[in-house]
Amino acid sequence: MARNSQNFDTVILGAGAAGMMCAAQAGVGGARVLVIDHARAPGEKIRISGGGRCNFTNLHAKPQCFISSNRHFAKSALSRYTQHDFIALVERYGIAYHEKTLGQLFCDGSAKSIIEMLLEEMQKVSAELRLETHIRALSGTEGGFTLQLEEQGSIYNVTCRNLVVACGGKSIPKMGASGLGYQIAEQFGLALTETRPALVPLTFGEDVLADFQSLAGVAIDARISCGKITFEEAMLFTHRGLSGPAILQISSYWREKTPITVSLLPSVDVYQVLRERRQQDGRKNIATIMAELFPKRLAAYLADIFEADGNIGDMSDKRLMALADAIKNWTLNPIGSEGYRTAEVTLGGVDTAGLNSRTMQAAAVPGLYFIGEVVDVTGWLGGYNFQWAWSSGWAAGQAIAES
């Protein structure tokens, strides 16, 4: 079954955060905008984010919180549509929110309120949304682009002057993530940077894995370093290795065969605490004293691997200093990550060298835009990647509306 060819000013591939934001801007002035997505519902990543409450931005979002082969690329979009602009939009819709920690803003209620807000913004400009719609073919034309689409068994062509690629990266494939955006970039001659899972738990070899499995579920504050990069948040032991905010953050910088350094209880002077406890309770075993500082299972494990045994009263300052130093400079060697299955985002993507930082348009292909996760711009954990989606989507949508 076929339909007649349909013409739009702009077609946006992906009804996620960036795509819906772009549609709400691109349709200003009466332009015909179509958003398509293969999913059954729009904004699926928004829906599941933040435990269903959506960590929709971060009060501290700034270019330094983003990773890219061009560290200056994100500056334009982030400065022109800021976290405060998105917060103002959220407030206009009466969506209650709160700061959880480190500037992370979450909805008080359901993440669905953010999706509904974006859909309403799209409706204001009469942007059309088609779900469960798949791309069978795509080609460039003299005046723009032609797409062959399949929707509920119906196959038809759509033409457009502007094509916006907002279909995300490879993370969370169970939700339909694929490399489509990268394939389109390559089709039109744009370069890609290396892609890899980011904001992802790290895995370990048999030398420590059994021990970590016995500690699964134990969480503790830690400062994690990889080279010159450091993050200080919670760390969680799992059946596969290490997770928690600090590990997810450092995973974006970690590379294979590179060690990480873990400093447990970074805000505590462990050496001073041990000296004080030696004076107060010298007859107690050091493992018992450590259980006052650390969760019991972790304390026993640390005492074992750092060979801390006997009464604390029998341990010299030098020995206590060595133990404290080991706790503060624990070197670990991950062998990999859990991959795209659990990665929150994809690191790398469409090379920013081929894009205009103000408009997100491909320099060599007029009318072709890339926004959101598909671009080589990756934010830290904590609402930064949503802010990039809002900012880049807004920048492209504005550029399209102005053109």
35 contacts: CB under 8 Å, gap ≥ 6: 11, 12, 14, 15, 19, 20, 23, 42, 122, 127, 128, 129, 130
Q: What is the pLDDT of residues 135-144, one digit of tens each?
A: 999 999 999 9
Contact 212, 202 (CB under 8 A): no
Mean pLDDT of the chain: 96
Q: Strand 133-141 to strand 144-151: parallel, antiparallel, or no bridges (unpaired)? A: antiparallel
The CA-based diameter of the chain, rounded to the nearest angstrom, is 87
Percentage of residues in the chain having pLDDT higher than 70 = 99
C-alpha distance from residue 57 to each of 50, 107, 114, 245 (Å): 11, 10, 11, 16
pLDDT at position 2: 52
Contact 300, 291 (CB under 8 A): yes
Exposure string for 324-334, b = 16+ CB within 10 A, e = fewer: bebbbebeeeb
CA quadruple 300, 305, 307, 312: dihedral sign: negative
Residue 385 has pLDDT above 60, yes or no: yes
Nearest CA to 77 out of 33, 120, 35, 25 is that of 25
Q: What is the pLDDT of residues 188-240, one digit of tens each?
A: 999 999 999 999 999 999 999 999 999 999 999 999 999 999 999 999 999 99
Please give the average per-residue pLDDT across 237-260, as a whole number: 98
Residue type, 257: K
Dihedral pair phi/psi, residue 283, rounded to 5°: -85, -10
pLDDT at position 160: 98
CA distance 8 to 355: 23
Q: What is the pLDDT of residues 288-342, one digit of tens each?
A: 999 999 999 999 999 999 999 999 999 999 999 999 999 999 999 999 999 999 9
Please give the average per-residue pLDDT across 235-253, as a whole number: 98
End-to-end CA distance of the chain: 35
What six digits make up the tokens of 262? Answer: 């873990």
pLDDT at position 107: 98
pLDDT at position 5: 75
Q: What is the pLDDT of residues 83-119, one digit of tens each?
A: 999 999 999 999 999 999 999 999 999 999 999 999 9
CA distance 256 to 337: 9
Q: What is the pLDDT of residues 329-383, one digit of tens each?
A: 999 999 999 999 999 999 999 999 999 999 999 999 999 999 999 999 999 999 9
Percentage of residues in the chain having pLDDT higher than 90 = 97
Residue type, 24: A
pLDDT category of residue 273 using cuts at 50, 70 and 90: very high
User: How crowded is residue 26: how many other Cβ atoms within 10 Å of its Cβ?
Assistant: 31
pLDDT at position 61: 98
Residue 4 has pLDDT above 80, yes or no: no
Contact 105, 55 (CB under 8 A): yes
Residue 172 has pLDDT above 90, yes or no: no
Residue type, 394: W
- Burial of residue 73 (CB within 10 Å: 0-12, 13-18, 19+) is buried
pLDDT category of residue 3 using cuts at 50, 70 and 90: low
pLDDT at position 1: 44
Contact 294, 220 (CB under 8 A): yes
Q: To the nearest 10°, report the CA torsion of 151, 157, 159, 162.
A: 40
CA distance 291 to 240: 24
Q: Strand 33-36 to strand 6-13: parallel, antiparallel, or no bridges (unpaired)? A: parallel
Please give the average per-residue pLDDT across 20-42, as a whole number: 97
pLDDT at position 175: 79
pLDDT at position 297: 97
Contact 230, 224 (CB under 8 A): yes
